[in-house]
Structure 1
Amino acid sequence: MTTQTTIAPPVMFSEVRVLMPGFMLCAVIAVAATFVSEHYGGPQFLYALLLGIAFHFLSDSDKCIPGIEVSAKKLVRFGVALLGARIVASDVSDLGLIGVGALVGAVLLTISFGLLLARVLGLPPLLGLLSGGGTGICGISATLAISSTLPATRETERYTLLTAIGVAIFSTVAMVLYPLVVKATGLSVSEAGLFLGGSIHDVAQVVGAGLIISPEVGDAATLAKMFRVAMLMPVVVVLALVFHGERRKANGGVGTKTPILPLFLVAFAALATLNSLGLLSHELVEASSTLSRWCLVISIAALGVKTSLEKLAELGWKPIVLLSGEALFVAAYMLAVVFAARLIAAQ
């Protein structure tokens, strides 16, 4: 009589096999969105969102659910952590005191304005926080980062996707219209860079708007925008502390161990510090930036798959007013700062 020994597959391999169908779905959507963006123009994130929504029917598939959930909730944190490799502390000195003060004000005031306008419109404060942070800091990346510090609920996911769609649309509109504002107001290279980098939502659209005018304006706008990206760290740390208790309850109650500062924030800070000290090579920074963008595109595709257009439509017209109001607010603020600085310099 012979006995057969059955060797169980490693636990990790079993988990990966369960996650693969949903993850591959989101990854294919991300690749398709990237192809369309690179060959026909337009925002990569917005394409990923819309294509993801088109595959919403797969969100009920038992095979796809685990991978979609991980892509939407876990992968985004890895992508945000890698954003830290793009931060260089020495860039702050190049902006000057007025530039730094203006950009810090843009972030804080836009978030505050978002919360206030959401209250006036009768919308949930979380939507005002997400939209204000996405508009004031760095678009969809900031929206996803802020969302990851909030309680993991259906409402948070819905507000995150709505904000991501709005930010992608208004950022693209700003990329086209704001260079016309620069021409009409006769802004100098430094003034145009500060205005564009301080008012347009996403990094790619900032670069595009600057290059529409000139390479010099493109460089100046990118510098201002990267400082706004650096503001993501302190803002998300504060929000992680504020919502720590609510995240803990959402993750399973009092007995669940939830770190005060999520690991992805620690990794973000560590990479930013290493890059500021010159310890990261240019190739490593570029690789981290590319990997980060892919993680975020896959995550936003997963959010799209999970979201029903019917549920988004239930929110009505008020979120449109909220997002457009925030976009106009930060643009008007940055223009006011630029002209105020010009008057001070003239005296």
Structure 2
Amino acid sequence: MQDLLRPIEILRPTTLAFGPGTLAGIAGWARARSCARPLVIADAFNVSRVAALGLSPDIAVFGEVRPEPDVPNLEAALAAAASVQPDLVIGFGGGSAMDLAKLVAVLHGSDQALTDVVGAERVRGRACALVQVPTTAGTGSEAGTRALVTAPATRNKLAVQSTHMLADLAVVDPELTLSVPPAVTAATGVDALAHCVEAYTNRRAHPLIDLYALEGVRLVGRFLPRAIADGSDLEARSGLALASLYGGYCLGPVNTAAGHAVAYPLGTRHHIAHGAANALIFPHVLAFNAPAVPERTAAILAALGLPAVTSERDVFDVAHQFCASLGVEMRLSRLGVPEADLGAMADEAHAIRRLLDNNPRELSRDQILNIYRAAC
């Protein structure tokens, strides 16, 4: 896992503004580039605060982003873009809004359809500017070149990766996260943690990414309990925003592994929010992988401030307690997932080879099913 001879590349937004109050800079940035027809892609909550972007009062907004966006949701956003003809697309919200913004930016005005660009580096270009503004601290999508949407027919996530989806400007203003309720703060915080942990324990782990991954884990361990206890704690919110950003840096060159693969069917089949799904699965996969990467598991536990345990059972117990203490729901049954669906979920998760092949320990279909049963 310490292969200094393996080439690696980190891509970042052209400009990154981080810190409280940075949102105010978007309007000037847009004016300097003569962007006259911006289109904001937002979820229902953030539609109510689009004015905070400081742009024209009659700015065009697509405000129907779903928590787990699917192909029809993308098609609706593209229809909105067709009527606006934007020269600037702004993703304003969580990962779902930012992912749709990426896809709208590259598909609007293009002769390529979604089916043409699924996979790696199939996008031919982008005709408009792209700004990303996260309002939660979890996905790190503002920093990355990937976007995911669900295909309703198969219930599988379609992944598009392209350097053309990298933002021209990412504005990470922690003040936007002050209104996030404790349950969402917990779930998105553990999602950021999972990004860092899955990159750090990945078969493709690299020293250049380890730096961000382990520091992201430390930030979550230090600041997530504080932000849940006091949502107005701006230092804690800033620490989580930085952890999320670091997790986003991990996703491009290394990516996630089994944790996300096992979590995906919870969202695609049962519409459980991505952060909540990853938080529920996190201790199960961390413990499963512990025998394969004992030193890295120990470093993760230390960074979180958890006891130095080594057995698979003990790693699960301390990680599960960490998540449960944050208020995360840790039972599938309480989220409406029926036991009768676990087999189909295991089939779907086991087919996500682009992530499972990154995992440090081989995870079979039956072992995935056992995780679901243990989480039920």
What TM-score, normalized to structure 1? 0.28
More strand by share: 2
Higher relative contact order (CA closer than 8 Å, sequence separation 6+):
1
Q: Find the structure with the greater CA-based Rg.
A: 1
What TM-score, normalized to structure 2? 0.26
More helix by share: 1
